[in-house]
Structure 1
Amino acid sequence: MSEEIVYANLKIQDSDKKEETQKSDKCGAKVSSAASHSQPKIVWILILLCLLLFIGMGILGGIFYTTLATETIKSNQLQSVKEELQENVSLQLVHNLNNSKKIKTLSAMLQNIATQLCRELYNKEPEHKCKPCPKGSEWYKDSCYSQLSRYATWQESVMVCSARNASLLKLTNKDVLEFIKYKKLRYVWLALSPRKNPIQYPLSEKIFLSEEFERSTDDIDKMYCGYIGRVNIYYTYCSNQNNIICEETASKVQVESVLSGLPEGGMYL
């Protein structure tokens, strides 16, 4: 009897284990079935995302290419405009330079013509308003010569001419020699530096040796100063008295003064 009971219990336990095993098999089957159903959805979602990403990249690439092409065209246009402007500026500069040269040439020609006309007017009227020299002076070549009606020592003569913004005659070029010979000047002080010993030498084109006055610590009254005497240059005591002629550079002839000074009928005949 007891053996039958033990057998019955074992049978019941076996049946319970079978039921549990069957249940667990059923649950695993359900889980695996659910998992197998969810995997295709994830794959399709991933594929869709990849497609969207690819499409987005394509759109962005197209936008980038279009923008790059547009900016390249604009850059090329700006470069063309820049080059054109630079060329125009260069041409304008060349044109202005040529015009400037022409203006300078015309101005020089006009100045020469005005100077020639003024000389003609000056020859007929020594105090014509176009004369580029102080009143009472003589216009010769490019210099103005003012002869003062007085005698003075060499040092006094230097001071008198300095007060007039001029100097004593300077033997620095042929024009001065021509003026001296033309006027037959005599006993006129020269702008030569005082010397300690008297000398004399001929007045010729070889003597362009005039020097600016250099102040000396020695007593000027005991030194010798140069003056013109006929065709020679002599040195005498600086304290002696001679004629004074002051020399200064002539100003430019003013074109307006020449034009306003012409008679209504034109140039003097």
Structure 2
Amino acid sequence: MPEETLYADLKFQDSAKKEEAQTSDKCGGKVSSAVSHSQHKTVVILTLLCLLLFIGVVTLGGIFYTTLEKEMTKSNHLQSIKEELQRNVSLQLTYNLSNLEKIQNLSTMLQNIATQLCQELYNKDPEHKCKPCPKGSQWYKDSCYSEANGYKTWQESVKFCSSRNASLLKVKNKDVLEFLKSKKLRGYWLALSPREDYRDSETLSEKMFLSEWFEGSTDDLNGMYCGFIDRVKFYYTYCTDQNKIICEKTASKVQVESVLNGLPDGSL
């Protein structure tokens, strides 16, 4: 009897262990299966995300490349337009400069013709309205010569001419030299710079072109020597002595209109 009871207990324990083992195997299998399914799902999701990301990058790259290509095309087109405009502007400037040069040449030629015509009219009528000098003055080359009445000291003469925007007589080129010789002037102050020492008379010549012409102050000229012209020579005397005056100034341009209006009818 005790042996049968012991046998039954052992059998029951073995049976219980088997059932526990089977239950354990079944539970383990179910857990393993669930974990495997979850991992697979995660992999699928990650794969899809990677695929979407790749598609997005490719799409953005395509858009960027397309946009870049369009912008480069536009830029090249604008550059071509710019270069064309620059060529056109350069050609226009060249054309304008050429025309301006022609106009300037024509203007110079017209001015020279007007001056020559005015000179001819002036020779016939010294007070012709085309004369580019003040009334009562003499026109020679590009200068106007005005003679003042009376006698003045050298200092007074300088101030007198200066008040009329002119200067005392100067001999600075061959044309003026020959002009003064032909006039045979007597006792007219020259614009030679005052000297402290006396100087003997000299013949009017081209040596005068190298002379020092007055450009400074007229203050305190007592005891100083100033030059004056007498026919074909020039002399020195005290600056406080009195002589005659000729003022000179640059002639204005001859006005073409004054020449045309002054021409006799039918001369053109």
Q: TM-score, normalised by structure 1?
A: 0.88
Q: Which residue of 2 aligns with 1:185?
A: 185
Alpha-carbon separation, structure 2, partners of 1:264 and 1:210: 50
Residues 181-202 of structure 1, C-alpha deviations (whole Å, 9 max, x = no match)? 2212111111112233142111
Q: Which residue of 2 aligns with 1:20?
A: 20
Contact 2:130 2:254 in 1 (8 A): yes
Query: 1:217/1:133 Cα in 2 relative to 1: closer, same or farther (>3 Å)?
Result: closer
Gaps of 5+ in 2: none
My pick for the range that moved more, 102-111 or 135-144, is: 102-111
Query: 1:124/1:41 Cα in 2 relative to 1: closer, same or farther (>3 Å)?
Result: same
3-state SS in 1 of match to 2:244: strand
Alpha-carbon separation, structure 2, partners of 1:123 and 1:22: 148
Q: How much does 1:123 deviate?
A: 1.6
Matched to 1:82, the amino acid is: K
Superposition map of 1:214-225 within 5 A? 214-215=216-217, 218-220=220-222, 222-225=223-226
Q: How much does 1:119 deviate?
A: 1.1
Contact 1:137 1:147 in 2 (8 A): yes
My pick for the range that moved more, 53-62 or 131-140, is: 53-62
Alpha-carbon separation, structure 1, partners of 2:160 and 2:139: 19
Contact 1:170 1:192 in 2 (8 A): yes
Query: 1:26/1:200 Cα in 2 relative to 1: closer, same or farther (>3 Å)?
Result: same
Matched to 1:26, the amino acid is: K
Q: Which residue of 1 aligns with 2:213?
A: 211
Q: How much does 1:2 deviate?
A: 3.9
Gaps of 5+ in 1: none
Q: Which residue of 2 aligns with 1:107?
A: 107
Q: How much does 1:39 deviate?
A: 5.5
Alpha-carbon separation, structure 1, partners of 2:205 and 2:256: 36
Alpha-carbon separation, structure 2, partners of 1:94 and 1:24: 103
Matched to 2:258, the amino acid is: S
Query: 1:88/1:59 Cα in 2 relative to 1: closer, same or farther (>3 Å)?
Result: same
Query: 1:240/1:42 Cα in 2 relative to 1: closer, same or farther (>3 Å)?
Result: closer
Task: Please provide the CA RMSD for this pair.
Answer: 2.3
User: Is the counterpart of residue 9 in structure 1 residue 12 in structure 2?
Assistant: no
Q: How much does 1:35 deviate?
A: 4.7
